[in-house]
Amino acid sequence: FQAGSSATLLADALESYGAGAAFFFTPEEMERQGGALRRLTAQGQSIGILADAGDPDRTVAEQLEAGNAALFRATCGKTRLAYIQGGGAQALQAAREAGFHCLRPELDRSGYDLRSAAGALELVRRLASWRGDAAVWLGDAANSAGLRSLLSAVKEAGGVCAAYTEAGFR
């Protein structure tokens, strides 16, 4: 997820289903949402840094450094998980050279609302044809009701939602 003000509501839904996810915050959001970062960390959710390769003021490396500094102030921890928006091969390579594992989702659903049962069922249908694990980028297109519908449908289908980490899924 692209984390924002709804991160704690999404975390509630995940916790009630025993599911995991990765939440990506911009460095600025990390500065403002220390409580959410602590809660997500305590709950075992993954936290990553959302960087914008098109930022005219800071490089990707500077954004990743600022994100980890803010995360450390909030949780005394750091991350090596990143999602680079608008990043070509050069931005991804710079992040990798800095020691980051960059999310490269197999399915980008950020343009589709996950705010209802219908949206959840459509996503489950798409995933049902997938073989093996798949990283799905929902961006900020989900709310807690849509996520609960998705988690229920995934559970009913015998699947699991796991957090994406630097080492894969957990």
- Taking only the tens place, the pLDDT of each residue in 79-98 is 999 999 987 888 888 898 98
Q: Determine the average pLDDT of the residues in 57-83.
A: 96
Side chain identity at residue 160, one-letter code: V
Q: What is the pLDDT of residue 170?
A: 54
Q: Determine the average pLDDT of the residues in 132-153.
A: 88
Q: What is the pLDDT of residue 30?
A: 96
Q: Determine the average pLDDT of the residues in 141-166.
A: 87
49 touches 67 (CB < 8 A): yes
Q: What is the C-alpha to C-alpha distance for residues 84 and 63, in angstroms, rounded to an integer?
A: 10
Q: Find tokens 């297109």 and name the residue.
A: 141
Q: What is the C-alpha to C-alpha distance for residues 101 and 170, in angstroms, rounded to an integer?
A: 15
Under the banding of pLDDT at 50, 70 and 90, the label for residue 158 is confident
The DSSP code for 116 is S
Predicted confidence (pLDDT) per residue in 25-39, tens digit: 999 999 999 999 999
Predicted confidence (pLDDT) per residue in 3-12, tens digit: 877 888 999 9
Q: What is the pLDDT of residue 168?
A: 66
